[in-house]
Amino acid sequence: MTMFHFFNCAILTFGPHAVYYSATPLSEYDTLGTSVKAALVYLGTALVKLVCLATVLKVSENDGFDPYQELLKAVIGFIDVAGLYFALTQLTHRNISQNHKFQAVGLGWAFADSVLHRLAPLWVGARGLEFTWDFILQGLEANANLVLSISLAALGSLMWLRKNKPKTLIPIIYTCAGIVATMPSITSYLRRGLGWDFPKVVVFELFTSLSMAFISWQLFSACQRPS
């Protein structure tokens, strides 16, 4: 059953975003506009990244891990962070609390990422007769990505939107943000440099995303205590 499989993988990939939106108070405060704006900002940053990558990188013949190229890719990955900064700070949001703002931005960001990177392969591949586990793994990866995006947005909002932070926590916040921002480079290093196969990488991503989410949640609530 081919359309069936496509439907299954689609709800695995995009379902959690919809569920997140409807389950949390985001739906009550009608933050859909924010999410849409964040998705558009993601689109913009993706284009900018594409142009930079095309100018800077050389096409490599083998699939190995080239440290210099990966370093460049990581640097370009920070454009992502810049885009998130733009979405969090520069866009005019309606009067929604900071708590909900970062969630909405993170959700929109992750949704745009999933659609851009995973919809086309899903549509083309999952409808065929041939069965592979790839699309289910891709869906799990989308889930991990959602958690990571929301935690990055949370840390971002802590860094840029909250003015009074406890001094001791600031370096921790920045290191965590750095780790989350460089996650794509880490996963590509695991896949190419160490030769991990796809299921292992997805498990690693899920694990790290959950732990990062937990850490950022702790940091967020810690920062919220004084005010």
Interface residues with other proteins (CB under 8 A) are 1-2, 4-5, 7-8, 11-12, 15-16, 19-20, 22-25, 123-125, 127-131, 136
Closest approach, Cβ 75 to other proteins, in A, equals 35
Q: Which amino acid is at 78?
A: F
Q: Which two tokens stand for residue 87?
A: 């979405």
* CB nearer other proteins, residue 19 or residue 194: 19
Residue type, 76: I
Residue 51 or 124: the one with the smaller Cβ distance to other proteins is: 124
Q: How far is the CB of 165 from other proteins (least distance, A)?
A: 23
Say how far apart CA 8 and CA 2 lie, in whole Å: 10
The C-alpha atoms of residue 66 and residue 164 are separated, in whole angstroms, by 41
Which residue lies nearer to other proteins by CB, 11 or 56? 11
Q: Kindly give the interhelix angle for 169-181 and 134-160, rounded to the nearest 10 degrees.
A: 150
| Least separation in angstroms between CB 121 and other proteins | 11
Closest among 175, 27, 35 to 91, alpha carbons compared? 35
Nearest distance, CB of residue 37 and other proteins, angstroms: 22
5 or 118, CB closer to other proteins?
A: 5
List all residues 6 or more positions away from 53 whose beta carbon is below 8 Å from its beta carbon: 73, 76
123 vs 198, beta carbon nearer other proteins: 123
Non-local (6+) Cβ contacts of 116 within 8 A are 42, 43, 46
Q: Nearest Cα to 114, choosing from 163, 182, 42, 48?
A: 42
Least distance in angstroms from the C-beta of 48 to other proteins: 26
Pair 174, 159: CB distance under 8 Å: yes
The smaller minimum CB distance to other proteins, of residues 124 and 194, is found at: 124
For residue 87, the minimal CB distance to other proteins (Å) is 21
In whole angstroms, give the CA distance from residue 20 to residue 116: 19
